[in-house]
Amino acid sequence: MKSLAQLDQLNLDADTKQQVTGIVQTLLEQAQKEIRTQELKIQALTMELAHLRRIRFGKKNESLSAVQLSLFEESVLADIAAVDIEIEQIDPAAKTAPAKPPRSRAGRQPLPDHLPRIEHRHEPESCQCGQCGNTLVKIGEDVTEQLDVEPARFFVHRHIRPQYACKTCETVTAEPVPPAVIDGGMAAPGLLAWVISNKYLNHLPLYRLEQIAAREQVTLS
Domain boundaries, the chain: 16-50, 130-216
Beta bridge partners of 128: 135
Which amino acid is residue 80, in one-letter code? I
Beta bridge partners of 165: 172
Could you list the beta-strand ranges (E) of 47-192.
164-166, 171-173
Length of the chain: 221
Give residue 197's pLDDT.
94
CA 151 to chain CA centroid, nearest Å: 27
Specify burial of residue 82 (Cβ count, 10 A radius: 0-12, 13-18, 19+).
middle
pLDDT in tens, the chain (221 residues): 555 566 566 666 677 767 777 787 888 888 888 888 888 888 888 887 777 777 666 655 444 555 555 555 556 666 677 777 777 777 666 555 555 655 655 567 888 899 999 999 888 888 888 888 888 888 888 888 888 888 889 999 999 999 999 988 889 999 998 888 888 888 999 999 999 999 999 999 999 999 999 998 999 88
Contact between residue 80 and residue 53 where contact means Cβ atoms under 8 Å apart = yes
Residues with Cβ within 8 Å of 142's Cβ and at least 6 positions away in sequence, in order, are none
Distance separating alpha carbons of residues 117 and 108, to the nearest angstrom? 19
Give residue 207's pLDDT.
92
Report which of 144, 90, 84, 137 is spatially closest to residue 120, judged by C-alpha positions.
144
Give residue 40's pLDDT.
83
pTM for the predicted model, two decimal places: 0.44
Distance separating alpha carbons of residues 8 and 17, to the nearest angstrom? 8
